[in-house]
Amino acid sequence: MDRCLGTAELLAYFEAAGWVTRSQVHDYLDTLRDNDRHVRPSDAGGYDRLVERLLRKKRGSGRSP
C-alpha cells in the first residue's frame, strides 16, 4: 500500500540522497516548529534515527553511500 510521506521523511530521503546536509535539515525542522507546524519525529534524535535507517538500507542494497 502506498502512503504519503511526512516532511521529516522527505527530508530524510533528501539527506540520504546527498541533496541536503543534516544541519540544513535540523534548521528546516526548527523553522517549521517555530512557526507552529507539526513535525514528526518531533526531536532531532528521532530524525537522526530515521536517516540512519535509510542509510543502512541504502548501503545494504549495494548502492554507493
Could you give the 3-state DSSP secondary structure of residue 37? Answer: coil
C-alpha cell of residue 12:
530524510
15-65 residue pLDDT tens? 989 999 999 988 988 888 899 887 777 677 888 888 898 888 888 876 555
49-61 residue pLDDT tens? 888 988 888 888 7
C-alpha cell of residue 52:
540512519
